[in-house]
Amino acid sequence: MKKKYIIFTLLFVLSVNLKAGDASFTISAEVTRNTTVNIALDFVSAYIKNLDIYPKFFPHIISVKKLPNAQSEWVYRVEAPLAPSYNVKFILEDKSRSADTLLFESIDKEKDYLYCTAYLNRLSDVKTKVNFLFKISMTREKASEIHILAGILGEKFLSEKMKERLEGDLEDFISSVVKDMYMVYRTSEKQ
C-alpha cells in the first residue's frame, strides 16, 4: 500500500509539473549584501566599474567582454546537481548614471536575465558603504532545458538552490574584492 501511495504521489507531482512546464519554467534568485570600506567613494566607484574584477573574483562568472554602445557580454557557469554544467550568456547594458551607482541590466528580460547594482554611500571623506544587489532568472519552454529533473524538483526548489549559491558567490566576491581593493588603494597611495 505504501509503495502505491509513493508511486501515485510521484506521478501526480510529475504530471502537475509537466503541465506547468508546457507554458514555461522559470528559476530565479535575488540577493543583497553590503560592506563598508575605509576608502573614498571616487576610488571605490572606479574600482567596481572595472569589468575585469567580475570574472576574476565572482565565482561562476567565466568572462565579461565589453561590447559597443555601453553593453557587455557576461558568461555565467550554471552548475546543478545531477546534471552537466553549462554556460549562459547575458548581454548587459550599463545604465550607471552617476559615480555613486553601478547598474548593469540584461537587454533580454524574458529568457536569461541578469541585474547587477552597487549603490555607494559616502559615510565620510575616506569611508564608503557599498550595497550590492544581484538578480538572475532563466526561463525556458520546457523544464528539462534548465535541469534534467527540473519538472520533478520544481521551480521553487531550484530557485532556492540558486539563491543559496548566489548568496555564497556574492559573499566570496565581496571578500575577495575588498582585499584586492585595499591592496590596489595602498599601491596607488604610494605613487
d(CA 159, CA 178): 28
Q: Please give the residue range of the domain that contains residue 118.
A: 2-190
pLDDT confidence of residue 15: 47
Dihedral sign from CA coordinates of 165, 97, 38, 183: positive
Contact 107, 95 (CB under 8 A): no
CATH number for the domain that contains residue 141: 3.30.530.20
Cα 80 to chain centroid distance, Å, stands at 15
pLDDT confidence of residue 153: 78
pLDDT confidence of residue 185: 94
pLDDT confidence of residue 80: 66
pLDDT confidence of residue 72: 96
Answer left, alpha or beta for residue 37, where phi above 0 means left and psi between -120 and 50 means alpha. beta
Which among 54, 93, 95 has a CA at the least distance from the CA of 75? 54
Which residue is listed with cell 571605490?
Answer: 44
Residue 74, burial from CB neighbour count under 10 angstroms (0-12, 13-18, 19+): buried
How far from 139 is each of 102, 110, 143, CA to CA, in Å? 25, 7, 9
d(CA 85, CA 77): 7
Contact 44, 119 (CB under 8 A): no
Which among 133, 134, 117, 141 has a CA at the least distance from the CA of 60? 134
Which among 176, 180, 173, 191 has a CA at the least distance from the CA of 39? 180
pLDDT confidence of residue 9: 43
Predicted confidence pLDDT, tens digits, the chain (191 residues): 554 444 444 444 444 444 443 468 888 899 999 999 999 999 999 999 999 999 999 999 999 999 999 999 999 988 766 667 788 999 999 999 999 999 999 998 888 999 999 999 999 999 999 999 999 998 888 877 776 777 777 788 888 988 999 999 999 999 999 999 999 999 888 77
If one counts the domains in the chain, the total is 1
d(CA 79, CA 87): 9
Q: What is the pTM of this model?
A: 0.80
